[in-house]
A and B are shown apart, each in its own frame.
Chain A
């Protein structure tokens, strides 16, 4: 096992140095004995694990296959189409309005990510460095937010933005997506910044750097794994968000991609090949991005309760 020892202590705030190490060298190879004999047990485990891995990927592979099917082979009861229609991946954006939806999703995810970072970095920095009145309540508020998902508040959100006349506005979805991702970002950033010894900043300040300069030049680079995790996580969650997009935007060209794709199903004849061409384009980058932050996400989501 490559990184178990590093990951073992990677809970935020617990053993931050090892979290640091785990992030810096995720693929550290273990020194293995030169000769490795395969016992039957290992063989069974390997076979089962690979089979499971295939099963977990299967639905997404089927989506790719469908995305490549020519329209006239959609109804065929075959596992693979006779011809692969790569042009589906281009045509979908021309033939449907999903291009608009993709653009909306990009704006929302990008906007929410920037907003989360701008708002949570100072808060996390202060919370990690200072002990102030209400610190505990602040952290509790943040934690509770993480537990309240948009679905539970949907009608309230709708009523609020209806009264503000902000339905169908990109800003509404940027704000709401940012708010529901704040908890994760604040939590993970506080843990990371808290793990960086303040002495490092002090040393820089003795050398004549301002406090702000020390924060930017010393602390931020060291907290980078935390920042990257917060950024990618917020981006992915906003990218995948569905319920708020469905509720808070009603005009088809102002809805995010998830809602656009779902609307496709309501159509008289569902163009599954186009639908999945768009889905695959939306899913693959997210899975790749997620692989980078996977090890930090658990600790952020369980708020440090699981090391």
Chain B
């Protein structure tokens, strides 16, 4: 279950007496003579222009003085970083970002394990119910978040109505008005939109476990919890880890949920570093760039973990 590059032709040709490290299709004149450039250059160019260039621009901007109108006023050295770290909100924004990411990913993984186990069973309507699970995955995260904002609306939100009718609360609340209640709801939405992908990833993992392993466990007299702990969980580990890392990256970056529901407010009480970065962009784009560089560094760490977890280098 390690991450593998798509099958390389050389490996396939080995079976037919070919040598690895050489094009299989030596006969195919045009293809081989032109080399890879005309084929892969457009992809590389697009990535250079839209992914690599912004990274460089980002780092460069964080060391500049730039007016609100966007005019460069010389170098700022590391001033923007100092300004950023001195922001009174910076500490708690950082803390909440970590909490937000850890809680959302943790709860998502736990619930997805249950969901995957459930939807891996045989029951009537399995296909239909699994399709229903797709909705939050396919729909725009922003629109889902706006949907929840509306459902939490103080005057007419259906969630307020339901909770009043169930006797959970006495009168309708302004859930998104203060950080204490806004955070749990935003985390709820983040988990809600992360569940489908994670569940499907784990389902794919579950299906790689051969049936005879379970058969063997049954014959040995293992109970269902024992089987789950001793067989399913260890064998599910690769899928689980990939799910964790991809979710970490997604949740860390999940700007639309918070932006749609509270815009990080009141103040910066419900901002994560990405939201904070966006807010800084309005006043000082260089400081915002400094925040981005910090974010970017964290994403790089997560990507490296991903590559490690998926064991990119092990094969090929």
Q: Which residues of A contact B (CB under 8 A)?
A: 1-2, 4, 7-8, 10-14, 27, 42, 45-46, 48-50, 52-54, 56-57, 59-60, 62-63, 66, 74-79, 118-120, 122-123, 125-136, 138-145, 147-149, 151-160, 162, 175-176, 178-180, 182, 186-187, 190-191, 194-195, 198, 211, 236, 239-240, 242-243, 246-247, 258, 261-262, 265, 272, 275-276, 279, 282-283, 286-287, 289-291, 294, 297-299, 301-307
Contact = CB atoms under 8 A, between A and B. Distances in A.
Contacts of B84: none
B25 to A, nearest CB: 7
Interface of B: 1-10, 20-25, 28, 30-32, 35-36, 38-40, 42-44, 46-47, 49-51, 53-58, 61, 70, 115, 118-129, 131-144, 146-151, 153, 155-156, 158, 161, 192, 195-197, 200-201, 204-205, 207-208, 238-239, 242-243, 246, 249-250, 253-256, 259-260, 274, 277-278, 281, 285, 288-289, 292, 295-296, 299, 302-303, 306-307, 309-312, 316
B106 to A, nearest CB: 19
Given A138-B40, A148-B51, A306-B243, 10 more contacts: A77-B156, A118-B42, A126-B39, A138-B36, A139-B6, A155-B288, A175-B50, A194-B7, A283-B143, A304-B3
Q: What are the 3 closest A-B residue pairs judged by CB atoms, nearest first? A: A156-B54, A156-B58, A179-B50
Contacts of A186: 43
Given A8-B208, A135-B8, A45 B134 contact: no
Contact of B146 (A74, A157, A261): A261
B2 to A, nearest CB: 7
Nearest to B153: A272
A290 B134 contact: yes
Contact of A302 (B50, B201, B255, B277): B201
Q: How would you classify the secondary structure of chain B's contact residues: helix, strand, loop or mixed?
A: helix
A53 B133 contact: yes
13 contacts: A49-B126, A50-B125, A50-B129, A52-B129, A129-B9, A142-B43, A149-B253, A178-B46, A258-B143, A275-B146, A302-B242, A305-B238, A307-B207
Contact of A298 (B51, B128, B201): B201
B126 A131 contact: no
A130 B25 contact: yes
B40 A126 contact: yes
A303 B310 contact: yes
Contacts of B10: 131
A130 B147 contact: no
Contact of B204 (A160, A282, A299): A299
A272 B118 CA distance: 36
A130 B9 contact: yes
Contacts of A139: 5-6
A271 to B, nearest CB: 11
Nearest to B309: A305
B277 A154 contact: yes
B138 A289 contact: yes
Which of B22, B54, B310 has the most A CB atoms < 10 Å from its CB? B54
Contacts of B295: 152
Given A147-B306, A158-B281, A306 B156 contact: no
A15 B131 CA distance: 24
B109 to A, nearest CB: 14
B115 A159 contact: no
Contact of A291 (B131, B148, B204): B131
A265 B42 CA distance: 39
B43 A123 contact: yes
Contact of A283 (B8, B140, B156): B140
B138 A236 contact: yes
A303 to B, nearest CB: 6
Contact of A75 (B7, B156, B196): B156
Most chain B CB inside 10 Å of its own CB: which residue of A179, A187, A211: A179
Contacts of B127: 2, 27
B128 to A, nearest CB: 7
A130 B3 CA distance: 20
Contacts of B156: 74-77
B146 A12 contact: no
B3 to A, nearest CB: 4
Given A131-B9, A132-B35, A156-B292, A149 B44 contact: no
Nearest to A175: B50
A262 B142 contact: yes
B31 A145 contact: no
Contacts of A45: 118, 121, 123
A153 B32 CA distance: 37
